[in-house]
Amino acid sequence: MKMYYVLYNPIAGNGQGKAAAEKIKDFISEGIEMVDITKVDYKDLFAKCAPDDKIVLCGGDGTLNRFINETEDVRTGVSILFFAGGSGNDFLRDLDKTPPCEPFDIGKYIVDLPEVEVRGKKYKFLNGVGYGIDGYCCEEGDKLRATTDKPINYASIAIKGLLGKFKPANATVTVDGVKYTYKKVWLAPAMNGRYYGGGMKIAPDQDRLNPERRISTVIFYGSGKLKTLMIFPGIFKGKHIEHKKNVVVHTGYDITVEFDNPTALQIDGETITGVTSYRARSSKLVNL
């Protein structure tokens, strides 16, 4: 009998990861084995999969990121499906899908991914690397998550940050060897997809399957608090890029961003604090 190994993250979806994963039974009625992603031995899991078996990854963007990075060296030809059960679901949103939706094959989306290097360590990323107030929001969200079971309101955190808790940095941005400098940088992500942060359409023209595998960086800079507050809501519809004096988009294969003071960075929702720089590279360079 064909087996579906359903991998779930118990902390995804504000702690409702297993319950969300159980909903897969609305689409698959038999041959299901539930597997806690925080305890699984991936090498053993892939080794025991028969050719017709399938691995179903349940969760959100953070769960996807963790799976991608932890299985890169052990993945076999077994089909990998995704069943959304997270709280952000930017990957799903980028594919114009909404939960609950039938599990679907993600094989073409988890190969040839870009890579980011932070403090000498390298990570693959699926959606994007947030640096600036987006990283700050993830840092503050992690603090709140440790004290409450309630859903985290990142929009509220962002507004409070814009009103004074977050201090913009000056930045040096290098794209394929060309150097740019910007003052008062609020956001400086590197994007493989269009969305991050639970629905922010930060890079509206980015195509994660573009043949050149180019990535984008979006620099939001130079504005004071009030103007930033006026522009910021447009991010949810991708309208912020119309503000040419304060938002610029660069695309390329090799992107380095350096801040003049440390701030938090997030990789597909996973937070790293106190970062002064990152380097993101397209798979075209990584695979050379």
Confidence category of residue 240, pLDDT binned at 50, 70, 90: very high
Mean pLDDT of 221-246: 93
Phi, psi values for residue 80, rounded to 5°: -120, 120
- For residue 173, list its beta bridge partners: 180, 257
The number of C-alpha atoms within 13 Å of 258 and in the hemisphere containing its C-beta is 7
Q: What is the pLDDT of residue 13?
A: 62
| Predicted model pTM | 0.91
Q: How many CB atoms lie within 10 A of CB 258?
A: 17
pLDDT tens for residues 105-155?
999 999 999 999 999 999 999 999 999 998 888 888 888 877 877 777 777
Of the chain, the percentage scoring pLDDT greater than 90 comes to 66
Residue 148: is it exposed, middle or buried by C-beta count within 10 angstroms (0-12/13-18/19+)? exposed
pLDDT tens for residues 56-73?
999 888 889 999 999 988
The mean pLDDT value of the chain amounts to: 91
Residues 280/267, Cβ–Cβ less than 8 Å: no
Q: What is the pLDDT of residue 287?
A: 77
The CA-based angle 12-15-20, given to 5 degrees, is 65
| pLDDT at residue 198 greater than cutoff 90 | no
Tokens of 164: 């004074």
CA pair distance 131, 45, nearest whole angstrom: 35
DSSP assignment of the chain: ---EEEEE-TTHHHHTHHHHHHGGGGT--SSEEEEETTT--HHHHHHH--TT-EEEEEE-HHHHHHHHHHHTTT--S-EEEEEE-SS--HHHHHTT--SS---EE-GGGSSS--EEEETTEEEE-SSEEEEBHHHHHHHHHHHHHTT--SPP-HHHHHHHIIIIIS--EEEEEEETTEEEEEEEEEE--EESSS-BTTTB---TT--TT-TT--EEEEEEES--HHHHHHHGGGGGGTGGGG-TTTEEEEEESEEEEEEEEEEEEEETTEEEEEEEEEEEE-HHHHT-
- Length of the chain counted residue by residue: 288
Domains of the chain: 4-109 (3.40.50.10330), 115-286 (2.60.200.40)
Residue 51: is it exposed, middle or buried by C-beta count within 10 angstroms (0-12/13-18/19+)? exposed
